Amino acid sequence: MINILLKDGDVLGADGQVRRADIAISSSIITQIGSVTEQAEQIINCQDKLIVPGFVNTHTHAAMSLFRSYADDMLLMDWLKTKIWPAEENLTAEDVYWGTQLAIAEMLKSGTTCFADMYFFMPEVAKAVAESGIRAVLARGMAGVAPTASQALAESENFYKEWHLAADGRVTVMLGPHAPYTCPPEYLKKVTALAEKLGSQIHIHLAETAGEVADCHKHYGKSPIALMAELGVLDHGVLAAHCVHVAPDDIAIMHNKNVRVAHNPGSNMKLASGVAPIPAMLKAGICVGLGTDGAASNNNLDMLEEIRLAAMLHKVHHLDPLAIPAKTAVAMATVQGANALGLGKTTGRLEVSYKADITIFDMQEPHWHPRHDRLSLLTYAAGAHDVHTVIVDGKVLLANRRLTTIDQERLIVEADRRGLRLVNHSSPK
């Protein structure tokens, strides 16, 4: 029995080619691609539409959407110390639930079907994921230097046991040691021991800023990547966010240890962190996905923007218009993103037996014309609002641009109220 039939769409294959086809979905799975003639419970007319794998956001802090536009154009440490950390002190579990729902609403509306999150009050995040229907890879952020260091390890273990592979398998749990500069070696050894005990993978920030790398060399005589390799952190399957300041030796280690990279061009640009050597990583055979980072440092969760930035930033940085072509940038947001999260056998491709995690773009607006090349239009011309329908795990979560599982009106009231309370505005700007 076909539950959903996508009829007459332009379908983007993992080879970057676009072909006219129908897609049949039964339960949570893509069961046919081609000319489908059987009956279906629901038919979605996909004429004039581009069907792509749902985007995979490989690095974010979803609930930080509550701090969107609170503080910008500041030095990183100033921003963290005077704005973000004090505001985060005020966060409650309920705030994290609503902030995460706000992020999920925005992600679904811009075509993202799966995201990797690192934050705290993670059972609230998992609840929002379970209720909304999206797919996610969740990690409780752990800082070894914080008073919560031991508690975070215990919470991570409990969270893993409770939520890993829960919500029909839509939730996967990783361990989330925040970064080498917040997690001393002794703490990281505890984290790797826990990873070994649970069989879990690790999501960590690595080599985001030049200052972090310089400090690491000063304290440990080696780069963050080399230090992580020495401590065994890289032996458990690692998703490493940023990797902006990595040397050729680091890239060799990353390749050797199969480190997967979450590249966040928008955040790296806005925070002035630097330009990650992505072309070199790709050449070395490293798996690179794309991420938005949190909305406080981006300031949206629009993966199409990250695709475009990935395609354009490396061109101008290397003065090479061939640096990251459209096909590579889109692959980083889909198939490679899924690989980065360890979900490459499940999602990220429009292929039979894969999960039905699908984004459908409406190609009506003027910026989609003329249509010489649909992959180019998606990469360089499309907008998030062109996302028309989003399906996750075989369920329609966005139908004709309307969320089906989230009450957007109530959500926005909650988000506004909580966002303003957290930063203790006397009056909004």
Q: Which of residues 212-231 bind its own copies (CB under 8 A)?
A: none
Q: Give the C-alpha separation, 115 to 174, whole Å.
A: 12
Q: Which amino acid is at 214?
A: A
Residue 289 token pair: 């996905």
- Measured from the CB atom, is 179 or 313 closer to its own copies? 313
- Residue positions forming the annotated binding site for Zn(2+): 59, 61, 205, 293
The residue within the footprint of its own copies, chosen from 384, 390, 392, 398 (CB under 8 A), is 384
What b/e string do you get for 281-315 counting C-beta neighbours within 10 Å, with b at 16 or more? bbeeebbbbbbbbbbbbbbbbbbbbbbbbbbbbbb
Q: Write out the binding residues for its own copies, residues 238-257 only, by CB under 8 A.
A: none
Helices (H), 40-92: 76-78, 85-89
**67 touches its own copies by CB under 8 A:** yes
d(CA 261, CA 317): 19
Shortest gap between Cβ of 428 and its own copies (angstroms)?
6
**Stretch of 154-162, 188-196, 200-208, 405-413 contacting its own copies, by CB under 8 A:** 405-413
Residue from the set 39, 73, 218, 424 that interacts with its own copies by CB under 8 A:
73
Q: Which is nearer to its own copies, 253 or 333 (CB)?
A: 333
* 3-class SS of residue 216: helix
Q: What is the DSSP letter of 372?
A: S
Of the residues 145, 154, 165, 210, which one makes contact with its own copies according to CB under 8 A? 210
Bond prior to 57 in cis (omega within 30° of 0): no
Number of residues that bind its own copies (CB under 8 A): 82
CA distance 429 to 417: 15
Alpha-carbon distance 114 to 57, whole Å? Answer: 6
Near its own copies in 125-184, by CB under 8 A: none
- Residue 379 C-beta: closest distance to its own copies, Å: 8
Residue 405 binding its own copies, by CB under 8 A: no
Q: Report the site for its own copies in 334-373 (rule: CB under 8 A).
A: 364-367, 369-373
Which residues from 78-107 bind its own copies, rule CB under 8 A?
79, 102, 105-106
Which is nearer to its own copies, 18 or 171 (by Cβ)? 18
- Minimum CB distance to its own copies, residue 381 (Å): 4
At residue 202, φ and ψ (nearest 5 deg) are: -125, 135
Contacts by 151-158, CB closer than 8 A, 24 or more apart? 152/120, 153/190, 153/191, 153/194, 155/122, 156/194, 157/194, 157/198
Give dist(CA 312, CA 46) in Å, integer.
30
| Alpha carbon separation from 252 to 207, 233, 259 (Å, rounded) | 15, 16, 10
- Least distance to its own copies from the beta carbon of 88, Å? 14
Site string for its own copies, 21-50 (x = CB under 8 A): ------------------------------
Instruction: Name the residue nearer to its own copies (CB basis): 220 or 380.
Output: 380
Does residue 270 belong to the site contacting its own copies (CB under 8 A)?
Answer: yes
Comparing CB distances to its own copies, the nearer of 73 and 186 is 73
Closer residue to its own copies, CB minimum distance, 38 or 416:
416
User: 41 or 416, CB closer to its own copies?
Assistant: 416
- Given 264, 273, 334, 339, the residue binding its own copies (CB under 8 A): 273
